Each structure stands twice: as structure tokens, then as C-alpha cells.
Amino acid sequence: MDIKKVKLEFEKVDGALFKPSKFKDSPALLYQENSKLTQKDFRLLGYSVSGFNNPFIHERASQPYKVYNGSKIFSLDEYKKYPPPEINFFKCIGNRRSVRDYKDYKISLNELFLILHYSYGISGWAKISNADGHWSYRNVPSGGGLYPLEIYIVIYNAQIPSGIYHYRPDINALEYIKEGDFLPELRITASAEPIVNIKKSSCTIIVTSIFGRTMIKYGERGYRFIMLEIGFVSENISLICDGLGLGSCMAGGYLDNEINDMLEIDGTFETVQNVIIVGKK
């Protein structure tokens, strides 16, 4: 859609508190307009999706796993042997609140397993038609089953050493990618204090997205799918934490580039999308 036309539409509307003229140059709203599907766009997207559907591409697209070769591995497989705690699902939803204060608590590997596996771990497999390999399925909807998200955990009060970890759903493990105490850095880059008492929390989960995994098939529309998936995963994490007697708070004011630098990701093709502080209520 033409930018001038969008601005004219805003000028036609009268408003008070949410005066439209305040948002007429908004990149977010311009993206929203330019990613809408017309009948023509829908047909063109159909051609793109059809071109994606061949065995050669499926073999590669079915493995959306980032790997840190050579890193120390903390396997979570042991905890698959034990049934998850029984909780009242509807009570859990009703109790869900952002928790901003915590008490000193070492989060366990079992708790980390439950949070990570049930929020974005692999819960099923299916053979790829006419090709080698399998599609993996997780506990959230994902556009085309392409799973563009990566999950990192900054640990500073747990039963495993402090540092930055990366979750590997394909092997159900944590990769220890950076050693050290990153809490002082997080207290600045997460921009949560004084509203959230991050120094008393146990860890911070950082969700990133790799745009190419989804946008290679769905183009500009794929960005919307990625944003939806971040919401699905983040809500899963929040509800699981509540079910375990833990609290979580999503920090929206984080410094993007500083978080990306801490994770040593490029910030363009992969970037931080959500920061979730976790600790004992």
C-alpha cells in the first residue's frame, strides 16, 4: 500500500487519546498494511508455497536445529522417565500472573526440562513423504511446521554452573555455550529493575527467531507467523512455571542489540524476540 495513502486515511479519522496522527509514520502499521493478503497476493503466495513442497527442500526444512559444536552437553533425557506433575490446567490458567519478586532458589535440571521440553520440545515425529528424514512436531502451532525459534537460558542460580545455555530439542539437552556470571549484564540489558527483582530470580529465558526458516516459504506474511509462535511458546513457558510453583515475568524493555551481542548472534537474521525472567515465587 502507498505510504501517502495510509497517511491520508489517518488524517480523515478524528481521535482523542489514541489520536491516529500519532501513528501515521509507524513502521509497524505500515508493515501490517503491506503484509495483508489480496486475492493477487494470495495466488502469488500459493505459487511460492507450492514451489517449497518438494522432497529435497523438505529434507532440509525438517531439521530446524541450531547446533553449537564442541560445547559441553547437559542431557535432559533422564527426566523423561518421570511423569510430569499433575496440575489443574484451568486453575493454572486462572492463576497466571506476571511475578516480579522472587526468593533465593536454585532451579533444578528437572524443572528446566519440564519448562523447555513441554514449551518447545519435540513431542512427535512423522515420516517425510518420498524423502529421507522425519518431520518433528512440538506443542505449539508453527507455520509449515518450520519452527523458527531458538531458546537460550541465562543461568545464575541453579543446580548447574552459571552461564549461557542453548536448548537443543533434537537431542533434548542444554548446550553450555558461555561460562560466567551474566546477571550483572542482564540487570542492565533486560531493563527490568526496579519493577522486577531480577537479582533474586533463578534464570532468564531468551527466545530468538531465525527469520529465514519461515520467510523462505511464506515471504513477508511469514513474519506474522513468527510473532504468533513467539506468543504461543512464551505463554507455554509462563503456564508451566505457574504449574511448578515458579513465577515468570516477560520483560519488554530489553536492549535488543546488547542482548544479541551477549548471545553472540548477528541481530539481523537471528534476533531476540522475548526475555522471560524466571524464579521461585
Domains and CATH numbers, the chain: 68-280 (3.40.109.10)
- In this predicted structure, the answer to whether residue 69 has a pLDDT above a threshold of 80 is yes
Q: Is the pLDDT of residue 9 over 80?
A: no
Report how far residue 69's alpha carbon sits from residue 168's, in angstroms, rounded to the nearest whole number.
Answer: 12
pLDDT at position 119 over 80: yes
Can you tell me the mean pLDDT for 39-55? Answer: 83
The cell for 266 is 548477528
d(CA 85, CA 74): 22
Confidence at residue 203, expressed as pLDDT on a 0 to 100 scale = 98
Task: Please tell me the distance from the alpha carbon of residue 107 to that of residue 158, in angstroms, as a whole number.
Answer: 4
| pLDDT at residue number 93 | 95
Residues 6+ apart with CB under 8 A from 63: 133, 170
pLDDT tens sequence across 124-165: 998 888 778 888 999 999 999 999 999 999 999 999 999 999
Question: Could you tell me which residue, 31 or 75, shows the higher pLDDT?
Answer: 75
- Nearest Cα to 108, choosing from 258, 281, 274, 244? 244
pLDDT at 20 over 80: no
Q: Is the pTM of this model over 0.75?
A: yes
Split at pLDDT 50, 70, 90, the class of 19 is low
Compute CA 180 distance to the chain's CA centroid, rounded to the nearest angstrom.
23
The closest alpha carbon to 218, from 44, 6, 66, 40, belongs to: 44
Rg of the chain (C-alpha set): 21
Give the number of other Cβ atoms within 10 Å of residue 119's Cβ: 26
Q: Where does residue 147 fall: left (phi above 0), alpha (psi -120 to 50 degrees), or beta otherwise? A: left
Percentage above 90 pLDDT, the chain: 72
CB 123, CB 137: distance < 8 Å: yes
Q: Count of residues for the chain?
A: 281
Between residues 12 and 143, which one has the greater pLDDT?
A: 143
pLDDT at position 7 is 63
Residue 195 has what pLDDT?
95
Q: Could you give the angle at which helices 221-243 and 109-120 cross, rounded to 10 degrees? A: 140
Residue 8's pLDDT band, with cuts at 50, 70 and 90, is low
pLDDT class of 48 with cuts at 50, 70, 90: confident
CA distance 69 to 73: 10
Q: What is the pLDDT of residue 6?
A: 64
d(CA 29, CA 24): 8
22 pLDDT more than 80:
no
Greater confidence (245 vs 30) lies with 245
pLDDT(3) > 80? no
User: Where is pLDDT greater, at 125 or 16?
Assistant: 125
- Phi, psi torsion values for 177, nearest 5 degrees: -100, -20
Selected residue with higher pLDDT from 14 and 73:
73
Position 14 pLDDT exceeds 60 = no
Residue 16 pLDDT greater than 80, yes or no: no
